[in-house]
Amino acid sequence: MSPVTTVIKEDMTHSSAGPNIPLSPQEQRVIKLFPGATLADWEDWRWQIRNRIRTLDQISKLMKLTPHEERGVKGAGDKLTMSIPPYFAALIDEKDPGCPIRLQSVPLDYEFETTPDEMLDPCGEDKSSVVHGLVHRYPDRVLFLVNEMCAMYCRYCTRSRMVGDGNHTLNTSTYDAALNYIREHKEVRDVLISGGDPLTLGDRMLEYLISSVKAIPHVEFVRIGTRIPVTLPQRITPELIAMFKKYSPLWMSVHFNHAVEVTPRVKHACNMIADAGIPMGSQTVLLRGVNDSPSVMKKLFHELLKIRVRPYYIYQCDPIVGSRHFRTTVETGINIIQHLRGHTTGYAVPTYVIDGPGGGGKIPISPDYVVSKENGRYTLRNFAGGLYTYVDPTY
């Protein structure tokens, strides 16, 4: 081997920018699809966004598509386009059509089929919108949808009616209408900034939003709902973290679906977030073939606790148009909770919820631990199946 080859090889595996995490063999394979791309590019979230994999031609260079995928990629529309950051694409197992990352990110033609119970807006968000982009469903908190762009479009997205690049219907004047609404509603003490993915916005725009919300006296804290720490961990830069620290207390909900998403880069990003004093909760969508078994979920939640992310919700997959192939029975979700509660760390057990179709909000579903209830006598089943009686006090 000549010295030159050695140098190039080293350059391909170590980067001076960013967290200095060597490229995995898969990452080395993917970066070669972008002639001239450097390790600094790979560490640059804007490069990752610009170079998302969006065409049949590009994805075909990465893997041999199945006929269902090929039809899916060809048929995906303007909304919920295929869009996979090279970083995330490198997590795909190109030999396995059942790979959980692949199922979440590569369209299948099943998306074009629909059943009568499926809806375009299953959570009834448009109906509960008080001003454009602001959903006020619960008494003391609002959901502020600040953009429509994500790094990766999840194929089962509950907001597929609105997410996608190139829809620029939100701007500072719509933001100002939402901010005014919050100002006028003194009962709002918690503002959840989501989208799209708010972290696809630049630092300045994000700071404008967070600081404007925080400046409202009755708002106690801001939350950010995002999938970026998973699909594009490079976005979590020291500059972004420094900005976040100015607006403590800030909470973050991060959408995680599978343990393979917890890579060294994701660990690094979550460490930065946690070290900045930002508590993180995870939101996981129960998806057929991706995470619909107790062992897959348990592994994910154990990995999350190691990176200081507290499992928060498992969502039953919403009946979004074209989601049948992703949806499981409700029994599947109940069974998962039953296999977690008592069997592992309580912090590793999220709340399983169904978003009541049509706008009911999150409704918790749990295994039946109350076997019978009569005149204040409760017969209870514990995690191991044992029966216990609790009697209410009498006064």
Ligand X SMILES: *Cc1c(COP(=O)(O)O)cnc(C)c1O
Catalytic residue ranges: 137-138, 141, 150, 154, 157, 159, 318, 355, 362
**Which residue from 124, 129, 171, 168 is spatially nearest to 148, judged by alpha carbons?**
168
Nearer to ligand X, 135 or 230 (CB): 135
Residue 141 contact, options ligand SF4, ligand X, none, Cβ 5-8 Å cut-off depending on partner type: ligand X
The sheet carrying 370-374 orders its strands as 370-374, 377-381, 387-391
Give yes or no for a contact between 99 and 108, defined as CB atoms under 8 angstroms apart: no
Q: Does 362 bind ligand X (CB under 6 A)?
A: yes
Q: Which stretch binds ligand X (CB under 6 A): 38-46, 138-146, 203-211, 379-387?
A: 138-146
CA distance 14 to 8: 10
On the 0-12 / 13-18 / 19+ scale of CB atoms within 10 A, 139 is: exposed
Taking the complex as a whole, the smallest distance from the CB of residue 157 to ligand SF4 amounts, in Å, to 3
With CB under 6 A as the contact rule, the residue among 63, 73, 91, 154 that binds ligand SF4 is: 154
Which residue is nearest to ligand X, using beta carbons? 143
Q: In the structure encoding, which two tokens stand for residue 220, read together?
A: 């106690």
Give yes or no for a contact between 216 and 243, defined as CB atoms under 8 angstroms apart: no
Nearer to ligand SF4, 92 or 154 (CB): 154
Q: Does 141 bind ligand X (CB under 6 A)?
A: yes
Q: Which stretch binds ligand X (CB under 6 A): 16-24, 135-143, 285-293, 319-327?
A: 135-143
Residue 362 contact, options ligand X, ligand SF4, none, Cβ 5-8 Å cut-off depending on partner type: ligand X
**Strand locations in the chain (E):** 129-131, 134-138, 141-145, 190-194, 221-226, 250-255, 280-286, 309-316, 351-356, 361-364, 370-374, 377-381, 387-391
Q: Does 221 bind ligand X (CB under 6 A)?
A: no
On the 0-12 / 13-18 / 19+ scale of CB atoms within 10 A, 237 is: middle
CA distance 324 to 318: 10
Residue 197 contact, options ligand X, ligand SF4, none, Cβ 5-8 Å cut-off depending on partner type: ligand SF4
Q: Does 138 bind ligand X (CB under 6 A)?
A: yes
Taking the complex as a whole, the smallest distance from the CB of residue 32 to ligand SF4 amounts, in Å, to 27
Nearer to ligand SF4, 304 or 317 (CB): 317
Q: Number of residues interacting with ligand X: please give it, by CB under 6 A.
A: 7
Footprint of ligand SF4 on residues 245-284 (CB under 6 A)? 255
Q: Does 137 bind ligand X (CB under 6 A)?
A: yes
Q: Does 106 bind ligand SF4 (CB under 6 A)?
A: no
Q: Does 157 bind ligand SF4 (CB under 6 A)?
A: yes
Tell the residue number behind the tokens 């529309």, with chain if given. Answer: 77
CA distance 251 to 317: 24
**φ/ψ (deg, to 5) at 27:** -65, -40
Taking the complex as a whole, the smallest distance from the CB of residue 194 to ligand SF4 amounts, in Å, to 7
Residue 309 contact, options ligand SF4, ligand X, none, Cβ 5-8 Å cut-off depending on partner type: none
Say how many CA atoms lie within 13 Å of 222 toward its Cβ. 25
Give yes or no for a contact between 288 and 325, defined as CB atoms under 8 angstroms apart: yes
- The contact set with ligand SF4 (CB under 6 A) reads 150, 153-154, 157, 159, 163, 196-197, 227, 255
Residues making contact with ligand X (CB under 6 A) = 135, 137-138, 141, 143, 192, 362
